[in-house]
Amino acid sequence: MLRAVLAALVCYVLALAPNPLLAQTSLQSLLQTQKDEVLKPSRASVGAVLDTLVASNLPGVQDFLEKWQERQVVLNTEDGLFYFATGAQGDTLLLQDIDSGASLQAPKSALTDSRPNGGVRKEIAGALVRFQLSGPDIEKRRAAVEAIARAPSADVVGLLQASAQAEPDPALKAQKQRLAQILVARFAPDSAARIAAITGFSGALSLDIRAMLNQILETRPGVAPARPNANIAEILQPGSDALPIAAAYEQLVAADLAPPMISPAQIKETLAQNISAGAVAGIPLAQLAQPDRRIAAYQALVAQGKAAPLVGPEDMTKALNAHVFYLAYIEPDRAITDAARATLQDIETAVAFNKGADLALDALSLASIYFLAAIGLAITFGVMGVINMAHGEFIMIGAYTGYVVQQFVPDYTLSLIVALPLAFAVTFGAGVAMERLVIRWLYHRPLETLLATFGISIALQQLAKNIFGTQARPLTSPAWLDGAWVINDVVQISYIRIAIFVLALLFLGLILVVLKRTRLGLEVRAVTQNPGMAASMGINPDRINMLTFGLGSGIAGIAGVAIGLYAKVTSEIGSDYIVQSFMTVVVGGVGNVWGTLAGAGMIGSLQKGIEWLNPSNTLAAQTYMILFIILFIQFRPKGIVALKGRAAGD
Amino acid sequence: MPSLSTQTSGAGRKTFLAQHPSVMWFLLALALFTLGVTVLAEATGAGLISTSFVKTLGKTLCLCLVAIAMDVVWGYCGILSLGHMAFFGIGGYAIGMWLMYARTEIIVRDSLLAAPIPPTPQEITDGIGTQIFGVVGSAEFPLIWAFADSFALQLLMVILVPGLLALVFGWLAFRSRVTGVYLSILTQAMTLALSLYLFQNDSGLRGNNGLSGLQNIPGFETVSQDAISIGFFWASAVALGLGYVLFAFVVSGKMGSVVRGIRDNEARVRFLGYHVESYKLFVFTLTAIVAAIAGALYYPQAGIINPAEIAPIASIYLAVWVAIGGRGRLYGAVIGAAFVSLVSSWFTGGGAPDVELGIYTIKWTDWWLVLLGLSFVAVTLFFPQGIGGLFDRLVRNPTPDAEGQK
């Protein structure tokens, strides 16, 4: 005990006033003065040792700290000196003298390791930062800057500024200067310098600056009989949203300004403790099921001095009215908090603006996914009036095709190039087969097509489960699609989503060209508008129906590959998108590419918009979106882009 | 039914049952079936049928009831609703709320009465709230539980909630002349929205945990499950019989002719001066209410209800049953629902023997859905009349429909 106190005392004295004599001695002798602390460091006490070492300005300190951190410092019990352990040779360890660097050996049995634990090593790392900031290794410099950013403290400001001056790497230099500004804003003793640093951050988007400003603006709640002379952020009214009555009263109780509330549970407990002969204070137990009798019994107990007095609502209101509730900044300087608040407000505006842009990008990407998933459906629905419930399963087939291709073609880029046309071919074939075998017999019974294709859908889904199992299969995207395009700290979009957007644009163009510029497209449009007339003009509607159905299914296959790239491939991947695809088609208007585009855009932005309003709950977002769509159909039953005239059919 | 007007205006006005011998036959068959099960059940007879199988049969009767409701709205009125299982589920939730509340109330009251101080009503309510909503991290009763303590009011909810929902939804949809596949998709969207809403923890209905312990009927703690199951079986049989008569009445007579006219050609019926929307709305709402009643009888036998039961796929299966049984004939729906649901539980329950194919063994638990899907396609393609169509061939010559198809 006495030894520990003495050691602590010595450390304390050393830390407070570095002895000028010590500064001139060797590192070894400095270590000898705190032998115990170096040998068995603890997180609480190592700070003093580190301060002493750093203050000594000896040349070997950095080296020693690094070795210490890596647990290479040993104590030779024979001569009582510290050494660096450099390697082992059988039973002997190779040692290195701390000051001279001379090599020597010692038997393992004579050595005791200094084993700093995790907490201590963090402290050592903190002390090392000042050496590494200006060191020759850029990786170490970078790590040091990050370490400071993680645990900012007032005493490295000067160090950081000095090292920023001398920093050769321009990017790191900017980072250091920025970090130095952040530290100045938080810790500088001169309030003008702090305000200048704070206002300098106006409009900056990054998280660390926002965190720093929020730290400056940190408040603590308080209560006092009258408005205190502090840097007050806000006076709170008890009963408002920010401060409910109960919370306000608890605050009063915590500050010893009011007697504590007696909760119903406490009343019950007190009553239970005072039962005598089947009654409490003369009131029989059976009556205590009524709240007012309970109160009466309790009041009787209070009168007998057996319980603490109740706090009624009037007492509460009186106590609340007699006090001022406030939030006070921890930072006492009003000018600084004002500057921080103004800057934060600027930043919030910029952030909100950028978040809007980010949301728009998200919505765009979601819309392109829906467009890809729905366009095939729109084509078949528009041309043939046939709802294909198995459309989602064609998406699934496309995704599994991509997965299977990756099993044979290990190069992800190449496999993607193979998978896209292959998925189209496979689902095109499946679509044509389905049209020939099932759908063409049901053209006059659209409701039954819906059911028959649903039968195919459950059969295909279960088939996929039987073949590929229920667990999700990965469809890995090539490395060049990994990562995200980061525009700033708020706005970013992953490359896969950009790729899907490009793919959607590509298909929009392709389909428009096919429909408007080719013979097939002309015939498809003719059959869409009037099959009977088209047939009498020499167009074979059967062939057109088959090709259209194949085309729609093929695009679903490609959508499947695209969706599989960012979602895991399961047998349910199709059914996750099918309802949204239907919605897209119905909202957009049947038989029109632009309609589908508008539908996808609307549903995508709607879903993202609702998610933004209610970010915690994507289920609710989908619910509200569907409700909105049901209502939307009321006003535009034929969708956004409705066919007009004879083409509209019935 | 072209001969109807001549019959009613004729001299001898026949009774409803005499006009529709199939109703008579169905009720007779149902009565015989009920009697047979009663004689063989554990609580009331020889004990040859296990209690769990009595429950399965009782549940199947409820499914038959919702199937005839679906048959009326689809097979007779031409509205392929993919939302009737949602109404079925709402009925289950409505009765489940009371069952769970009353049961928890008994447990909570018993445990609180063990304490020295008798509980106040508020304490009991709080205790029930903690018991029921603890699983979703809450103890407050949401507003929709306001009537959960009253059996009568909650029974009213079984009818009112789905009835109002169907009324509002149907009014919106029919008024804007959403028909055909559009309407199907819209009803499917409604079902999806409802199930997604119920999946949330803050929906007030315990999120994806659903309501459970519904097989314990408050007030009948001492009665064994054997007796309760046969009781529910009887109730289901009575409900099915009443529902059958009700719908047979609705689809016969003048109203039935108009309803079938709407199915075959809505525009012509409208031009004849009938207010098509009202008829559709009436059929849609009535069938929704019957579906909800079927659900209220089903879930106490199932014991648990959760939002997955309301997912759109359930409603599609309902359409599958009706299609396989045969649309446009009430007994077809009953046959379809009973046949498919019993066969389905036979296949998926491991009852069907595996098929050895040398290199591959077909396990029916894996392949049943493939079979169901394909047979569904086959029925749609080759037997649009379903199983019920076979009966028709025995009984009478098929009458051609509006498009001349037999």
Give the pLDDT of residue B5. Answer: 42
* Contact status of A438 with chain B (Cβ, < 8 Å): yes
Mean pLDDT of chain A: 82
Among chain B residues, CA nearest to A284: B117
A288 CB neighbours in chain B (<8 A) are 117-118
**Per-residue pLDDT at B259 exceeds 90:** yes
**Per-residue pLDDT tens over the stretch B164-186:** 999 999 998 888 888 777 888 88
**Interchain contact, B403 vs A444, CB within 8 Å:** yes
**Interchain contact, A462 vs B373, CB within 8 Å:** yes
**Interchain contact, B178 vs A456, CB within 8 Å:** no
| Interface probe, candidates A266, A630, A643, chain B, greatest B C-beta count within 10 A | A630
Confidence band of A4 (pLDDT split at 50, 70, 90): low
- The residue with tokens 């064994």 is B224
**Share above pLDDT 70 across residues of chain B, in percent, rounded to a whole number:** 94
What part of A 559-618 touches B (C-beta under 8 Å)? 579, 582-583, 586, 617
Give mean pLDDT, residues A435-444: 87
Nearest Cα to Cα of residue B233 among B26, B20, B45, B21? B45
A272 CB neighbours in chain B (<8 A) are 115-117
User: Shortest CB distance from B380 goes to which of A291, A452, A466?
Assistant: A452
Give the H or E element holding residue A453.
helix A446-468
**Interchain contact, A451 vs B117, CB within 8 Å:** no
A637 CB neighbours in chain B (<8 A) are 176-178, 182
Give the pLDDT of residue A21. Answer: 47
**Share above pLDDT 70 across residues of chain A, in percent, rounded to a whole number:** 94
Confidence band of A311 (pLDDT split at 50, 70, 90): confident
**Interchain contact, A631 vs B172, CB within 8 Å:** yes
Q: Compute chain B's Rg from CA coordinates.
A: 23
For residues B250 and B25, is the Cβ–Cβ distance under 8 A?
A: no
| Tokens (6 digits) for A297 | 């019994």
* Contact status of A643 with chain B (Cβ, < 8 Å): no
Residues in chain B: 406
**Per-residue pLDDT at A2 exceeds 80:** no
Give mean pLDDT, residues B296-303: 94
The domain segmentation of chain A, as residue ranges, is 2-123, 133-216, 262-310, 352-648
**Per-residue pLDDT at A350 exceeds 80:** yes
B319 CB neighbours in chain A (<8 A) are 451, 454
Give the separation between CA B176 and CA B195, rounded to whole angstroms: 25
Give the separation between CA B285 and CA A577, rounded to whole angstroms: 30
Give mean pLDDT, residues B8-29: 72
Q: What ipTM is given for this predicted complex? A: 0.81
Give the H or E element holding residue B16.
helix B16-19
Give the separation between CA A44 and CA A645, rounded to whole angstroms: 84
- Min Cα separation B72/chain A (Å): 15
Give mean pLDDT, residues A200-223: 83
**Interchain contact, B373 vs A457, CB within 8 Å:** yes
Give the pLDDT of residue B327. Answer: 84
**Per-residue pLDDT at A638 exceeds 80:** no
| Interface probe, candidates A263, A438, A454, chain B, greatest B C-beta count within 10 A | A454
Among chain B residues, CA nearest to A464: B370
B312 CB neighbours in chain A (<8 A) are 579
A485 forms bridges with which residues in the sheet? Answer: A493
More confident residue, B134 or A10: B134
B380 CB neighbours in chain A (<8 A) are 442, 448, 451-452, 455
**Interchain contact, A271 vs B117, CB within 8 Å:** yes
- Min Cα separation A513/chain B (Å): 28
For residues B374 and A459, is the Cβ–Cβ distance under 8 A?
A: yes
Confidence band of A3 (pLDDT split at 50, 70, 90): low
More confident residue, B21 or A425: A425
Among chain A residues, CA nearest to B318: A451
More confident residue, B337 or A107: B337
> Which of the residue ranges A274-278, A343-347, A594-598, B223-227 would you say has the lowest mean pLDDT?
A274-278
- The residue with tokens 């359409």 is B319
Please give the full DSSP string across A108-120, using - where no structure is assigned.
Answer: GGGEEE----HHH
- Min Cα separation A608/chain B (Å): 17
Give the pLDDT of residue B1. Answer: 40
**Interchain contact, A448 vs B177, CB within 8 Å:** no
* Contact status of A345 with chain B (Cβ, < 8 Å): no
**Per-residue pLDDT at B289 exceeds 90:** yes
**Per-residue pLDDT at B19 exceeds 80:** no
**Alpha-helical runs (H) found in B252-329:** 253-264, 266-271, 276-302, 312-325
Give the pLDDT of residue B219. Answer: 82
A451 CB neighbours in chain B (<8 A) are 80, 319-320, 323, 376, 380
Give mean pLDDT, residues B285-292: 96
Q: Which residues contact B216 (CB under 8 A, 6 or more apart)?
A: B99, B103
Residue B44 burial by Cβ neighbours in a 10 Å radius (0-12, 13-18, 19+): middle
Confidence band of A446 (pLDDT split at 50, 70, 90): confident
**Interchain contact, A455 vs B182, CB within 8 Å:** no
Give the pLDDT of residue A326. Answer: 87
- Min Cα separation A460/chain B (Å): 7
Give the pLDDT of residue A481. Answer: 82
**Per-residue pLDDT at B304 exceeds 80:** yes
Give the pLDDT of residue B13. Answer: 59
**Per-residue pLDDT tens over the stretch A526-553:** 887 788 888 999 999 889 889 989 999 9
Give mean pLDDT, residues A248-253: 86
Give the pLDDT of residue A23. Answer: 47
**Per-residue pLDDT at A252 exceeds 70:** yes
Give the pLDDT of residue B160. Answer: 94
A617 CB neighbours in chain B (<8 A) are 200, 202
**Per-residue pLDDT at B9 exceeds 50:** no
**Per-residue pLDDT at B402 exceeds 80:** no
Give the pLDDT of residue A169. Answer: 84
Confidence band of B10 (pLDDT split at 50, 70, 90): very low
* Contact status of A626 with chain B (Cβ, < 8 Å): yes
- Min Cα separation B331/chain A (Å): 20
CATH fold of A352-648, please?
Answer: ABC transporter involved in vitamin B12 uptake, BtuC (1.10.3470)
A104 forms bridges with which residues in the sheet? Answer: A95
Phi and psi at B19, nearest 5°, equal -70, -30
**Per-residue pLDDT tens over the stretch A124-138:** 877 777 777 777 778
A289 CB neighbours in chain B (<8 A) are 118-121
Give the pLDDT of residue B220. Answer: 85
Give mean pLDDT, residues B295-308: 93
Give the H or E element holding residue B102.
helix B84-113
Q: Compute chain A's Rg from CA coordinates.
A: 38
> Which of the residue ranges B64-78, B201-215, B308-322, B382-396 would you say has the lowest mean pLDDT?
B382-396
In terms of average pLDDT, the best of A197-201, A447-451, B287-291 is B287-291
B115 CB neighbours in chain A (<8 A) are 272
* Contact status of A272 with chain B (Cβ, < 8 Å): yes
For residues B34 and B234, is the Cβ–Cβ distance under 8 A?
A: yes
Output the CA angle A113-A115-A117, nearest 5 degrees. Answer: 175
